């Protein structure tokens, strides 16, 4: 019995909700129980956005996350807001292109990924979110990288099939980052 609570946060427009959808679909295809809860409202209209994703072997209880096992942040206000909510032993993923601050906590695993820079370098500047996701998959073996392409295909409308390849490029860059 395992439940992983994942909180993704950043600015509106960074693909925070899309990244969450990616993880939710990944869980769905792996026959896990999942829930995906977006922020909605004023923050969606240009401010901060966040997204709660729960992946579990058992039916999901409350979809609202107060103490995430995994925190993924793509701007400084989000890191400051949520850093202390992560459970001891949890993981924090920081887009280090956009956040220069370091995490002071020593009871969590912190991964710094220059995702925005990497996405730019890879020619997919809007997909820093997926670079982050690639690195999350790498460090969470239960999610495995297998089946990633099938997941992306679920997310991308058929009319925009060319985006599958670009998303895969970003995900692979994140996975391969050392």
Partner 1 sequence: MAERVLMKGNEAIAEAAIRAGCRHYFGYPITPQTEIAAYMAKKMPKIGGVFLQAESEIASINMVYGAAAAGMRVMTSSSSPGISLKGEGLSYIAGSDVPAFVVNVQRGGPGLGGIQPSQSDYFQATKGGGHGDYRMIVLAPASVQEMASLTVKGFNLADKYLMTAMILADGTIGQMMEPITFEDVEVETYDKPWALTGTKMQRKHNIVNSLYLKPDELERKNFERYERYKTVEENEVMVEEYMMEDAEVCVVAFGIASRVAKNAVVQARKEGVKVGLIRPITLWPFPKKVLRQAAERVKSFVCVELNMGQMIEDVRLAIECSRPVSLCNRTGGMIPDPDQVLASIREAQKGVN
Q: Give residues in contact with partner 1 (CB under 8 A).
A: 21, 24-25, 28, 33-38, 40-42, 60-64, 66
Residue among 81 and 109 whose Cβ is closer to partner 1: 81
Residue among 42 and 123 whose Cβ is closer to partner 1: 42
Residue among 27 and 173 whose Cβ is closer to partner 1: 27
Residue 138, φ and ψ in degrees, nearest 5: -55, -40
Contact predicate 115/131, CB 8 Å: yes
Smallest distance from the beta carbon of 108 to partner 1, in angstroms? 20
Smallest distance from the beta carbon of 15 to partner 1, in angstroms? 16
SS3 for the chain, per residue? CCEEEEEEEEECCCCHHHHHHHHHHHHHHCCCEEEEEECCCHHHCCCEEEEEEEEECCCCCCCCCCCCCEEEECCHHHHHHHHHHCCCCCEEEEECCCCCCCCCCCCCEEEEECHHHHHHHCCCCCCHHHHHHHHHHHHCHHHCCCCHHHHHHHHCCHHHCHHHHHHHHHHHHHHHCC
Residue among 37 and 163 whose Cβ is closer to partner 1: 37
Smallest distance from the beta carbon of 96 to partner 1, in angstroms? 30
Smallest distance from the beta carbon of 20 to partner 1, in angstroms? 9
Smallest distance from the beta carbon of 54 to partner 1, in angstroms? 10
Residue among 65 and 170 whose Cβ is closer to partner 1: 65
């Amino acid at each position: 019995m395992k439940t992983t609570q994942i909180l993704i946060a950043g600015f509106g427009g960074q693909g925070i909700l899309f990244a969450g959808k990616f993880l939710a679909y990944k869980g769905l295809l792996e026959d896990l129980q999942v829930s995906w809860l977006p922020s909605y409202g004023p923050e969606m209209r240009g401010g901060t956005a966040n997204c709660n994703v729960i992946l579990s072997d058992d039916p999901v209880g409350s979809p609202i996350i107060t103490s995430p096992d995994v925190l993924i942040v793509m701007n400084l206000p989000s890191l400051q807001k949520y850093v202390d909510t992560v459970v001891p032993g949890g993981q924090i993923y920081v887009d280090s292109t956009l956040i220069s601050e370091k995490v002071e906590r020593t009871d969590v695993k912190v991964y710094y990924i220059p995702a925005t820079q990497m996405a730019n370098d890879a020619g997919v500047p809007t997909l820093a979110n997926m670079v982050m996701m690639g690195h999350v998959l790498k460090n969470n073996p239960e999610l495995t990288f297998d089946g990633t392409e099938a997941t992306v295909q679920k997310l991308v409308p058929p009319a925009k099939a060319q985006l599958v390849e670009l998303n895969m490029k970003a995900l692979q860059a994140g996975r391969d980052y050392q």
